[in-house]
Amino acid sequence: MKKILLTLALAMPVCASAQTVGKGGITAGMLSQIKKAQTTAVTDRALSNALAANSIDDLALTADNAEAADTHFSHTVPSKGITDQKQSGRCWLFTSLNVMRAAMIKANNLGEFQFSQTYSWFYDQLEKANLFLQAQIDNAGKPMDDKTVDWLFANPLSDGGTFCGAQDVITKYGVVPAEVMPERYSANNTSRMSSLLALKLREYGLTLRKAVASGEKGKKLEERKTEMLSTIYHILTICLGTPPEKFTYTLRDASGKAISTKEYTPKSFYDEYVGKDLVGDYVMLMNDPSRPYHKTYTIDYDRHTYDGQQWTFLNLPMDEIKPLMVASIKDSVMMYMSCDVGKCFNRKSGVLSLNNYDYASLFQTDFPMTKAERIQTHASASSHAMTLMGVDLDESGKPLKWMVENSWGPTAGHKGHLIMTDEWFNEYFFRVVVERKYVPATLLDELRQKPTVLPAWDPLFAEDK
């Protein structure tokens, strides 16, 4: 006891002196100056009182913003049924499947139809677990404080993702109708299952590193990893159910009449009713003004399967991306699109507009950062994927606003959709996946460039959730 007290007594002066060394802290004189700069206006007190019981957005809301009431669109892709990802980060998967189901509904004159999100997510989680474990084997010779190793342990897996993940998982495992593998609690509420999987994977990651250090390699390591994945698979089946290998399904048209009843595998169902080459038929475009345009980029570990495709995109200015999206919508083809959905968002109206909130008047200061500056400082990034399905064009063909089919249920936003002004779109749109046939040959040529490889911790890695 005396030794502990003595150690603490000796340590305290050192800590105290360390806190006062150097310049840069808030001094008494500086604090006095800060306080004197504050206004004493009656309106400030009134605002402070109002904010004691109300949100900032409630007070900053622009009540007479006409954009919040404008729901007319000149061009929309027909849609049937709004999906709901509930308390999960699976927007990327819902959006990818919604793009595919829209085409399937149109081609077969179906009523409301959904693919099973749970089926695809089951294999997404299994593949992400394998990606993490194999990456630990690959990097086992590096120290724990290596940037890549540290990032891997910080991000063993998540329920977020991007279109490239859907490409690989769906191409590899096919799809099934929602009725064949329906949603369960842990699919709709992912946090607890995801945290337990992450905890188990971190444990396994350490085990694999120790195994490599002790001389294990080759088949022995693969057997160890396979045993670990068996446990992950078991947890997934307990939480989500067992994915079907075969199923019998009756497809019905919009009137309820049976079109066909057949036995399928998930792959044969995909081949018959979707049939797209998800890897070859689509290109990914990005607007990031903080980096050079007309260059391709890829992000290390930005994939869902170890043997899959890393997300590779062509960075373009907005005025070159918009015509491609307009062409797709006019042709009744939906698109995977993602943006920074939380910015300037009026959740009651479902409208995203730069004029929704007047924070400048409320706080007597503006917020002038450019899109490039927000990206560089982590103030803005792609955060949510949705299905782009509408554009409102003026008489000259210029976009006025855009509409997306969201995955937050039919009562969220404008009947399950969100409306984005074109000015907002310029500031907070990030990426879109367009069918290759809408992309000019000159841009397709640029996509063949050798991409610049960015590290996994780059701001652009941000997953859609």
- With a cut of 90, say whether residue 332 has pLDDT above it: yes
Domain boundary among 273, 292, 321: 273
The Cα 155–Cα 454 span in angstroms is 17
The Cα 152–Cα 88 span in angstroms is 22
In this predicted model, what pLDDT tens digit does every residue of 151-194 receive, in sequence order?
999 999 999 999 999 999 999 999 999 999 999 999 999 999 99
- Considering the domain architecture, whether residues 140 and 251 belong to the same structural domain is answered as yes
In this predicted model, what pLDDT tens digit does every residue of 276-285 receive, in sequence order?
899 899 999 9
Q: Which residue out of 98, 130, 164, 384 is catalytically annotated?
A: 384
| Per-residue confidence band for 16, with pLDDT thresholds at 50, 70 and 90 | very low
DSSP 141: T
The Cα 221–Cα 207 span in angstroms is 11
| Per-residue confidence band for 275, with pLDDT thresholds at 50, 70 and 90 | very high
The Cα 394–Cα 401 span in angstroms is 10
406 as an active site residue: the answer is yes
* Residue 203, domain extent: 91-273
Other CB atoms within 10 A of residue 381 CB: 18
What three-state secondary structure class fits 50?
helix
214 domain residue, yes or no: yes
- With a cut of 70, say whether residue 1 has pLDDT above it: no
57 domain residue, yes or no: no
Residue 382: what are its φ and ψ, rounded to 5°? -60, 130
Average pLDDT, stretch 12-40?
76
State residue 11's pLDDT score.
45
- Considering the domain architecture, whether residues 158 and 141 belong to the same structural domain is answered as yes
Other CB atoms within 10 A of residue 64 CB: 8
384 as an active site residue: the answer is yes
- With a cut of 90, say whether residue 355 has pLDDT above it: yes
Q: Which residue out of 65, 91, 239, 417 is catalytically annotated?
A: 91
State residue 12's pLDDT score.
45
Number of domains in the chain: 2
Reported pTM: 0.92
State residue 109's pLDDT score.
95
60 domain residue, yes or no: no
- With a cut of 50, say whether residue 5 has pLDDT above it: no
Length of the chain: 465
6 domain residue, yes or no: no
- Considering the domain architecture, whether residues 380 and 262 belong to the same structural domain is answered as no
- Considering the domain architecture, whether residues 389 and 408 belong to the same structural domain is answered as yes
State residue 64's pLDDT score.
86
- Of the candidates 329, 289, 247, the one whose C-alpha atom is nearest the C-alpha of residue 76 is 329
Q: Which residue out of 287, 315, 346, 406 is catalytically annotated?
A: 406
- Considering the domain architecture, whether residues 239 and 348 belong to the same structural domain is answered as no
53 domain residue, yes or no: no
What three-state secondary structure class fits 339?
strand
- Considering the domain architecture, whether residues 117 and 261 belong to the same structural domain is answered as yes
The Cα 458–Cα 288 span in angstroms is 13
Strands 282-286 and 429-435: antiparallel
- Considering the domain architecture, whether residues 259 and 154 belong to the same structural domain is answered as yes
SS3 content of the chain, % helix, strand, coil (to 5): 45, 15, 40
The Cα 173–Cα 265 span in angstroms is 9
- With a cut of 70, say whether residue 136 has pLDDT above it: yes
DSSP 293: S
- Considering the domain architecture, whether residues 331 and 414 belong to the same structural domain is answered as yes
123 domain residue, yes or no: yes
Structure-model confidence comparison of residues 409 and 45, the more confident one: 409
- Considering the domain architecture, whether residues 143 and 221 belong to the same structural domain is answered as yes
In this predicted model, what pLDDT tens digit does every residue of 96-107 receive, in sequence order?
999 999 999 999
1 domain residue, yes or no: no
The Cα 164–Cα 169 span in angstroms is 9
Average pLDDT, stretch 98-118?
95
The answer to whether 229 touches 133, Cβ cutoff 8 Å, is yes
The answer to whether 104 touches 78, Cβ cutoff 8 Å, is no
Domain boundary among 239, 258, 273: 273
- Considering the domain architecture, whether residues 253 and 293 belong to the same structural domain is answered as no
Q: Which residue bears the tokens 């000019």?
A: 440
- Dihedral angle of Cα 376, 380, 386, 392, to the nearest 10 degrees: -100
- Of the candidates 359, 36, 234, the one whose C-alpha atom is nearest the C-alpha of residue 226 is 234
State residue 10's pLDDT score.
42
The answer to whether 260 touches 243, Cβ cutoff 8 Å, is no
What three-state secondary structure class fits 56?
helix
Domain boundary among 273, 297, 318: 273
148 domain residue, yes or no: yes
State residue 22's pLDDT score.
67
CATH value at residue 363? 3.90.70.10
- Considering the domain architecture, whether residues 107 and 74 belong to the same structural domain is answered as no
- With a cut of 90, say whether residue 39 has pLDDT above it: no
State residue 121's pLDDT score.
98
The Cα 265–Cα 119 span in angstroms is 13
- Considering the domain architecture, whether residues 456 and 436 belong to the same structural domain is answered as yes
